[in-house]
Amino acid sequence: MANDAPPRWDRRMQQRLARGEAAALGELYDRFASLVHNLAHRVLEDEEAADRVTREVFGYAWENPGAYDPQQGSLRSWIATLAHRQAVHRLREAEARAAADPAGDGTAGEGAVAARGRRTAEDIEERIREASVAARADYIVTSMPAPLRAALELAYFDRRDYRQTAAELGVTEDEARRRLRLGLQLLSTARAPLPEAGPPPGYGRAL
């Protein structure tokens, strides 16, 4: 089916990575580094840890381009899924170290996670669920078409009503309502997990 074919850029990028083109990795990084870092930071709440996850995700993509399955979705979605899975892995890892620190001084943990101290297993899983929902919401907003994103930003960040949104966007009120409705429908899926893809945590010391 035609809808099963990945976008041309995705196909070409996978082929270039498979050939070991360093320039392809640079292009991939330029396009998706901000997405990866933001998703990781949303989960980990730590700049250094998010930087680390970003390096790990692109390192994995460079070494394992064949792990991307075009039939399962876009390259962007695959990269986002790797980022989410790796950030959750790192969060669990850091929480376990913090819980194992009997002095409670953070020496067994890292970054913001260690500073929060010990948690129960239920606390950790709840934190992961909340972070995953927030990360997916961020991903949905940045992935949706620009007209929908602009309408949502005006309505919910700038507190415009649909009439003001329509005026600022230069569209009819009916169109503004339609964009807001579609945007909210997309956001309503934020509690669904990011698509499963890629390997389980365990690649080297991560992925």
| All structural domains of the chain with their residue ranges | 2-120
The predicted model gives 97-116 an average pLDDT of 57
Confidence grade of residue 104 (pLDDT, cut at 50, 70, 90): low
**Locate tokens 């993509």: which residue?**
61
* 2-120, CATH topology level: Rna Polymerase Sigma Factor; Chain: A (1.10.1740)
* pLDDT for position 199: 44
Buried b / exposed e over 50-89, threshold 16 CB at 10 Å, is: bebbbebbbebbeebbebbeeeebbbbbbbbbbbbbbbbb
* pLDDT for position 92: 85
Predicted model pTM: 0.65
The predicted model gives 130-155 an average pLDDT of 80
Share of the chain above pLDDT 70, in %: 78
* pLDDT for position 111: 57
